Structure 1
Amino acid sequence: MAHYFSERPQTGSRPGEVNLVLPDLHLRLETDSGVFSPERVDLGTRILLESVPPPPQEGDLLDLGCGYGPIALTMATRAPGATVWAVDVNRRSLELTARNAQSHGLDKVRPIHADEAPEDTKFRAIWSNPAIRIGKPALHAMLTRWLTRLTPDGVAYLVVQKHLGSDSLQRWLGEQGWEATRQASRAAYRILKVTR
């Protein structure tokens, strides 16, 4: 079965387009089948982008699980002096993010496969609508891998649906030694703020 978290989706290509309209930006984004939420910008992603404070204006930022790029491109638009790493395992998603960044002139977006990201880069901010459906062990391993790369003053914002385990994830993060607080809650989605 094909999943949006497969490296090379077997689903045939069905190109599409969505509009991301926020108070401060309007982005037209190419999408395709075999990636996360190709018909519309996912509600959780939209709530995240409407709820978080502006990203740091310089340094390295991370969109973990970038899909076709709505979070990465928003970060890059809001922080033009920063480098935004758009990480995913899905090669089709990475190609779409690269094309979407190019079409909007956002040349500081760096789409890269999770296994190819430079190990020494530290992130001042991580924004993510994490792939909850990969299962708890894989989710915990992914978050552990990337959250440990926050700078000492770095902050991560994760959007998680309440019915898909946001409260248990918040507890788990606390048990791992992270400061995890609920930043916002809307339409059954929680925005978790995670710091060291």
Structure 2
Amino acid sequence: MGEHYFAANPDTPSRPRSVDLVLPDLHLRLRTDSGMFSPDRLDAGTRILLETVPPPPAHGTLLDVGCGYGPIALTLAKRAPAASVIGVDVNERALELARENAATAGVTNARFLTPGAVDPDVRFTALWSNPPIRIGKAALHDLLLTWLPRLTPGGEAHLVVQKHLGSDSLQRWLDQQGFPTRRIASRSAYRVLHVAARPQEGHPR
């Protein structure tokens, strides 16, 4: 990709296409475009995350950080139809497609927003993410410290990270920040990390 997928307004010429999200419990055809993460196929890390995590909470507000065109957030919404799902991304082109994909899939319990548009008082019962590791360690740490402290007491996050892109060091860093973290799955050089809320942090909403 000629331009980083985390640009707010990609200059990459539009080249629409679609990918199929096929999981044991759902099948969605999702519209994608140039200038966003993994537009030609469902990213392997995203697939591993969606195939290995436990079911999301049935209620509450669920968050997908770095939602792109929506595969994780839409899976959350389909698996927890009584919950409210928020997908956040800086990429406006991806957000617009995520909204279109939700409408096509008949999903009414998911919203797709820029980070600044999320109500700062909202707390999350679960967070799923294939985080944008390539933004750099400092920016990644800032991103995670923006959202993980907003987990409700007892809330949990699941992150998928490639081993060679620092999954083990990220696990150690999260522990050091007070978020108990453990590996729950390992496949094809990817690690799925379970991250618990800091003790006594956050307030239910």
TM-score scaled by structure 1?
A: 0.99
Identity within the alignment, %: 63
The 3-state SS of whatever aligns with 1:148 is helix
1:41-80 aligned at under 5 Å gives the runs 41-80=42-81
Q: Look up the match of 1:85.
A: 86
The 3-state SS of whatever aligns with 2:97 is helix
Q: CA RMSD in A?
A: 0.7
Alpha-carbon separation, structure 1, partners of 2:59 and 2:168: 32
- Residue 2 of structure 1 and its aligned partner are, at CA, apart by 2.1
- Residue 52 of structure 1 and its aligned partner are, at CA, apart by 0.3
Alpha-carbon separation, structure 1, partners of 2:190 and 2:126: 20
Alpha-carbon separation, structure 1, partners of 2:13 and 2:115: 23
Correspondence 1:2 to 2:7: no
Letter in 1 for 2:106: G
Q: Which runs of 5+ in 2 are unaligned?
A: 198-205
Q: Look up the match of 2:130.
A: 129
Letter in 1 for 2:73: A
Alpha-carbon separation, structure 2, partners of 1:83 and 1:177: 27
Correspondence 1:183 to 2:184: yes
Number of equivalenced pairs? 196
The 3-state SS of whatever aligns with 2:96 is helix
1:140-151 aligned at under 5 Å gives the runs 140-151=141-152
Q: Which runs of 5+ in 1 are unaligned?
A: none
Q: Look up the match of 1:110.
A: 111
The 3-state SS of whatever aligns with 2:107 is coil
Letter in 2 for 1:85: I
Alpha-carbon separation, structure 2, partners of 1:2 and 1:117: 26
Alpha-carbon separation, structure 2, partners of 1:68 and 1:126: 17
- Residue 147 of structure 1 and its aligned partner are, at CA, apart by 0.1
The 3-state SS of whatever aligns with 1:75 is helix
Correspondence 1:31 to 2:36: no
- Residue 115 of structure 1 and its aligned partner are, at CA, apart by 1.5
Alpha-carbon separation, structure 1, partners of 2:175 and 2:147: 16
Structure 1 moving runs of 4+ over 2 Å: none
Letter in 1 for 2:85: V
TM-score scaled by structure 2?
A: 0.95
Q: Look up the match of 1:155.
A: 156
1:106-130 residue CA offsets vs partner (Å, 9 max, x unmatched): 0111100011111011000000000
